Every structure is written in structure tokens, then in C-alpha cells.
Amino acid sequence: MVCHTIESCGSIGVNVINEETNSNNSMKLQNKTKLFVVTFLMCILPTFVYANTGSPMMWFGMLHSLVLNAIIGLTESFIVTKFKIPNRIWLIILANYVSMFIGLNYIAPHFSTLSGNYDFWGGQTNYGNYELKGFLIGMTSSYFATLIIEFPFFYFAIKDRTQRKKIFLPFFVANTTTNIIMTLVYYWIVSGGGHW
């Protein structure tokens, strides 16, 4: 299109600007409408939004099961190596994942419930009502289960078969050390909101 006068060229520019402004205003109105609808639904349907999604114990438990088990396995392997017993690290790490899955997901909650703490992971317990006695009994039972579950893994993790007879003391020291540290960390997490 060719402009014959300045006024006609100016009006074309104004029309283009007006169309852009109208489309921007339309998009802003659509965004405001969407925001209003979402806000309205959140206010009228409060069951969709929960503020109690988990507890520190649950979140740390997930971190423990995903990442910390590998670190614990490496530490236990290192402790066994200090006793001059070469081992397969991957098998000791696998032992930790198996024992954590069974010990902290089944054994500890079961024995915790028997002693009066019906919510081992603390997701349904109000702050200040967590039973520390049940927690301690659950963690202790989990420790004994860990010893039973992990020993075969440690036994077969030893590279030199002639040294397998020497594994009990390093195994016991490694597991006791890591379990005491783990129990103290979990206790630190739950003690603020618990009672004896």
C-alpha cells in the first residue's frame, strides 16, 4: 500500500497500533479471567489444596531411601576395608537398600505401633503429639532386622573367600556406627514435635 498523504500514512500506523493494543488487552483479559477462575476454585473447593502434605520424617525418609543409602553403603564398605577386608561395594550398597526398604517401611512401623505410636512417619500426627518411645522401639527393631538382613550380603561381598570368617566384627561395627548416626538424625528431626 502506498501512502499519498501524511495523514493517510499516519492513520495506517495508528490502526496497526490499535490492533496490537486490542490483542494485548484481550490476552490480559484472558489471563485475568483464568487467574480469577483458579482463585475462585481454590477458595470454593478447599479439599483440593492440602497444607499437611508430609512431615519432616517422611521427607527425610524419602531422601534416605533415594540417596543416603548409597552413602551409608559406601561408609560401611570403607569401615570393612579398614579391617583389611576387601569387598564389593555395590553388594553392600544393595544390602542397605534392601534393609532400609524392609526395616523402615515394615519392621519399624510395626513395632512402633505395638508400643503405642500408630504413626511412625509422623504424617498424621499433630505437632507435639508424636510418641518418641514408639519411635525408639521402631528404630531399635529396625536395627536388629538390618543385622539379620544385611549379613548375607556382607558375607558374599567379601572378595577373598578365606576372609569371610572374619566378617562378623567389621560388619557389626559398620552397621552399628551407621545405625546410631541414622537414629540420632531421625531423632533430631522428630524430637521437637514429640514427647515421651
Query: How many Cα atoms sit within 13 Å of 10 on the Cβ side?
Result: 3
* pLDDT per position as a tens digit, 67-123: 888 999 999 999 999 999 999 999 999 999 999 889 888 998 899 888 888 877 777
Same domain, 10 and 34: yes
Q: Residue 28 burial by CB count (10 A; 0-12/13-18/19+): exposed, middle or buried?
A: exposed
State the alpha helices, DSSP H only, in 68-167: 69-82, 89-102, 108-114, 132-157
Residue 1 lies in a domain: no
Contact 170, 83 (CB under 8 A): yes
Residue 191 lies in a domain: yes
Among 117, 151, 109, 158, which residue's Cα sits nearest to residue 134? 117
Same domain, 98 and 144: yes
* pLDDT per position as a tens digit, 128-176: 777 888 889 989 999 999 999 999 999 999 999 999 999 999 999 999 9
Same domain, 26 and 113: no
Task: Using the predicted structure, report yes or no on whether residue 10 has a pLDDT greater than 80.
Answer: no
Cell 558374599 belongs to: 156
Q: What is the pLDDT of residue 108?
A: 87
Residue 53 DSSP code: -
Task: Using the predicted structure, report yes or no on whether residue 5 has a pLDDT greater than 60.
Answer: no
Identify any residues that bridge with 194 across adjacent strands, giving them in sequence order.
130
Same domain, 145 and 97: yes
Backbone φ and ψ of 2, nearest 5°: -110, 130
Same domain, 63 and 138: yes
Q: In angstroms, rounded to a whole number, what is the distance separating the alpha carbons of residues 117 and 134?
A: 5
Domain of residue 134: give its range: 56-195
Cell 478447599 belongs to: 46
Same domain, 82 and 171: yes
Same domain, 60 and 44: no
Residue 124 lies in a domain: yes
Same domain, 95 and 160: yes
Same domain, 88 and 168: yes
* pLDDT per position as a tens digit, 11-47: 555 555 555 555 666 667 677 888 888 877 767 665 5
Q: In angstroms, rounded to a whole number, what is the distance separating the alpha carbons of residues 66 and 73?
A: 12
Structural domains in the chain (count): 2
Q: Grid coordinates standing for 75? A: 561408609
Q: What is the pLDDT of residue 47?
A: 55
Residue 84 DSSP code: T
Same domain, 32 and 105: no
Q: What is the pLDDT of residue 31?
A: 79
Same domain, 79 and 12: no
Residue 179 lies in a domain: yes
Same domain, 60 and 43: no
Contact 142, 103 (CB under 8 A): yes
Q: What is the pLDDT of residue 158?
A: 94
Contacts of 87 (CB under 8 A, 6+ apart): 77, 80, 81, 154, 157, 158, 159
